Structure 1
Amino acid sequence: MTIDQTITLRNGVTMPSIAFGCAFGDWVGGSEFQGFLPEQAWRAIPMALDAGYRAFDGAHAYGTERIVGASLGQRFASGALTREDIFITTKLAHPRTSPEVNISHLRTWNADEVEDIGQRVLDDMMRSLDDLALGYVDLLLIHWPGPFENRDAALARDARRTIWRTFMALHDKGAARAIGVSNFTTAHLRELVEDDQLTTPMVNQIEAHPYCRDRDIEAYCREHGIVITAYAPFASGALGMLGDPVLTAIANKHDVAVGQVVLRWHLQSGRAVLPKTSKAHRMRENLDVFGFALDEEDMAAIDALGSGAPRRTCADPNDVV
């Protein structure tokens, strides 16, 4: 089965099917520290560029956009790359998290705490562009559909509508070539599209891996031409997934690494994917998934791993009203 290395979004923008994830830190209990560690990006981003990555998935909340911008700026200055060679995604409107998670309150906010939601989005967008030292991003996503603790559904829906209208304006003036959402459920998407017949998102970025499947949202997105992008494709290194005997057997069968099997499964399922690693050989390995194909038996075996309740490493978007 031949898989293209790019995906064409509904508005004609071409997006690489594999992008390098730029969130560094720990959220799954593997260390005492919980939060972002952007300093790890200083080595990883140049290594990813050297490995061949040309798409980078970031967010205002991650604190790595200045590092991405500096790394790209060096390549632009030398003539090794041009802006047109690179696909940059950023995300805005990350809600506040629990106090033990170390995320800057300057980069996260709840809709009910902001006097002018649209202006806050515009201000954060300009901060992201300043950090990236770019005039535009290729893809702009709403990071989460709303505050984690909020139970006021009307407030959340109205805030999403305001944010999305602001995104549409940014797209119209070229600050974002494409726009979409992240962590949106089917209910969130339906409401967003129903409100004043707003533009349908072009991408929905969700947690997806062999242990975490949401077939309802995937079916809805396929029906409406929304590209699914899988973050945490390796379950953030948790849950013992990369040691799963089913995945290991398939990897041995094709003489590839387990991570390559997982990425190939995502691509053959029609999803874009965001692997992240700090090891150069893994970076190259994660891009080298176009020279083999999984057969129907392989695909069915991997699909079966996610037949139960989703096992998540991040917050459940179904809990966001």
Structure 2
Amino acid sequence: MEACTSLRELNAARDSFLQQKPKTQWIAEGDNNTAYFLGNLLTQINATNITLIPKCETPTSVKHFRPSACCNLIYKTISKLLGLKLKHFMFGNDLLMFCKGNAQSVMLLMRAFSSFPKASGLSMNNSKYEVYFNGMEEVLRSDIKQVTGFIEGSMPFRYLGVLIQVGRLTKKECNVLTEKMVIRIRSLGAKKLSYAGRLTLINSVLNTLNNYWASMFIIPKSVIKRIERSCRNFLWDGSSEYHRVPLVAWEKVTLPKDEGGLGIKKADIWNVAAVAKLVNWIYSKSDRLWIRWINQIYIKNLDGLDYNPPTDATWSWKCICKVKE
């Protein structure tokens, strides 16, 4: 019994030591299984193809592409196992960092950037970094760009597939969402599918594109109509365009199945319900960094149910507050 206990303690100490290694050191040394995974596997298994996927319609530089690994199933399984050993690391992909618009705050931020390569063994690619300003003089902007070496970005910009902007979300800025749905409909090639097959694709494929945006913004009504029109046309004709009278009214189609409908979610109701989840998180003070910031800056010590946004609040915050009504 004592021998088993000692062995468990030794294994726990070894794992604790490995978790404290920098990423590059762990990859070089690894644990007891690393040598087998990296040295004894067949070449046909221990290999992958890398392809570049464009992130925009007309890419003009390397930063407009996203690398994607085309791996086989065994390779992916082994990668998942190895990834569990690296789960305590934070990677700097798609990361937004904020600071005050003064030289001192920027210098502190750059000091944190300089410590990242030392701790992780990874290097920074300055060509992929951009700095954004709001309400700052041109002289201070130039000084900050010179200190950081970053290029100045313009609003709005895309982050994790959605637009980050200052003002109201307009129909024009939502074109990317509706265009994605049209492109996806054309790629599905569902002309020969039955109505049941198209219904399944609407719920599992098309609505997921809308749900992602709907969980963060109140989408304009004109865009909601375009989304529902695309889904309706796809249901009855398998394409993005349908010029005949639908067999059943859309209001009937979007009813629950137990009420005689097909169970397709109405886009406007789903949008409000998804944003209402954010309202619940905010007023229940969920343990999330952005919610703590909202309560500290906006709500403060006020009762959330009686709170009204100030007139100079952002459009997004006003929309979230309006949902609770």
Give your verdict on TM over 0.5.
no
Please, what TM-score do these two structures have when normalized by structure 2?
Answer: 0.26
Bigger strand fraction: 1
Structure number, greater radius of gyration: 2
Tell which has more relative contact order, 1 or 2 (C-alpha 8 A, sep 6+).
Answer: 1
Bigger helix fraction: 2
Please, what TM-score do these two structures have when normalized by structure 1?
Answer: 0.26
